Amino acid sequence: MIYRNATVDDISAIVKLQKKYHITTISEKDKPDGFVTTLFTEEQFKELIEKENGITIACHGKKIVAYVMAASWKYWAKWPLFQYMIDDLKDTEYKGITLSTENTYQYGPICIDMDYRGTEVLRKVFDFSRMQMSKKYPLLITFINHINHRSYAAHTKKLGLDVIKSFDFNNNTYYELGCYTSE
Ligand SMILES: CC(C)(COP(=O)(O)OP(=O)(O)OC[C@H]1O[C@@H](n2cnc3c(N)ncnc32)[C@H](O)[C@@H]1OP(=O)(O)O)[C@@H](O)C(=O)NCCC(=O)NCCS
């Protein structure tokens, strides 16, 4: 398995993986094993790659089998849910530290193709992304829908993220989670 930053040449494969597991297009069979919420256009993927170097992928041969997004809050601010999270950072503490757009970044979505779940891909693709972001930010912040039980288990039990709070947005309830980037 190769772990690397995505380039614009990878966008069409990432779009396909996004479609397979996005909440609006996922099959009923796959949904209980998790779904991604943020929907990116090809242009938004391009901006994420070119301005933030913010997509990590796992490749098995030529096949892209997983992706992880990570970026500054400036990049995420165009989505209403992230604007809500940004506004709330100043009222949120993690391990005694008040959160801000300077000391945190937003990680996610992460998506792993079904055949590669339950393997080391989760930890490896997560760490590849986290290590790069640790150069700029001490803390990682993310969110998970309360009904995404697999993602919650993966992030809390396997990756060691802590739940910071829960919040409601657009008729959904989400966990906000965080961790240090270099521990
Ligand atoms: C979330 C995701 C990245 C986790 O990676 P993964 O390789 O599946 O994670 P793992 O299988 O190693 O760990 C998940 C844990 O949840 C448990 N689990 C599996 N299926 C589950 C289910 N349907 N409901 C609840 N828990 C479940 C597993 O048992 C495992 O814990 P265990 O190994 O201690 O028993 C992956 O499932 C995925 O890409 N899902 C689709 C997209 C998604 O949900 N992204 C996250 C958005 S917040």
Which among 29, 150, 151, 161 is the best mutation to test ligand 1's pocket, defined by most ligand atoms within 8 Å of the CB?
A: 150
Provide the pLDDT for residue 54: 97
pLDDT digits (tens, 9 = 90+) for 5-20: 999 999 999 999 999 9
pLDDT digits (tens, 9 = 90+) for 87-97: 999 999 999 99
Please give the number of the atom of ligand 1 that sits closest to the Cα of 157. Answer: 34
Provide the pLDDT for residue 37: 87
Any atom of ligand 1 within 6 Å of the Cβ of 32: yes
pLDDT digits (tens, 9 = 90+) for 63-82: 999 999 999 999 999 999 99
Provide the pLDDT for residue 55: 98
Domain ranges, ordered by start, for the chain:
2-180
Instruction: Please tell me whether residue 39 adopts helix, strand or coil conformation.
Output: coil
Any atom of ligand 1 within 6 Å of the Cβ of 70: no
Any atom of ligand 1 within 6 Å of the Cβ of 149: yes
Answer whether 116's CB lies under 8 Å from 65's CB: yes
Any atom of ligand 1 within 6 Å of the Cβ of 35: yes
Residue 127 in tokens:
């760490």
Cite the DSSP H helix spans in 71-169. Answer: 73-76, 80-89, 121-133, 149-153
Q: Ligand 1: which residue has its CA nearest to atom 19?
A: 150
Ligand 1 centroid to Cα of residue 117, in Å, is 7
- How much of the chain is in helix, strand and coil states, percent to nearest 5? 35, 30, 30
Average pLDDT over residues 13-33: 95
Q: What is the CATH topology of the domain spanning 2-180?
A: Aminopeptidase (3.40.630)
Asked if the model's pLDDT at residue 183 lies above 80, the reply is: no
Answer whether 5's CB lies under 8 Å from 53's CB: yes
DSSP strand E in 7-126: where?
A: 55-60, 63-71, 93-94, 97-98, 104-112
Picking from 92, 101, 106, the residue whose alpha carbon sits closest to that of residue 144 is 106
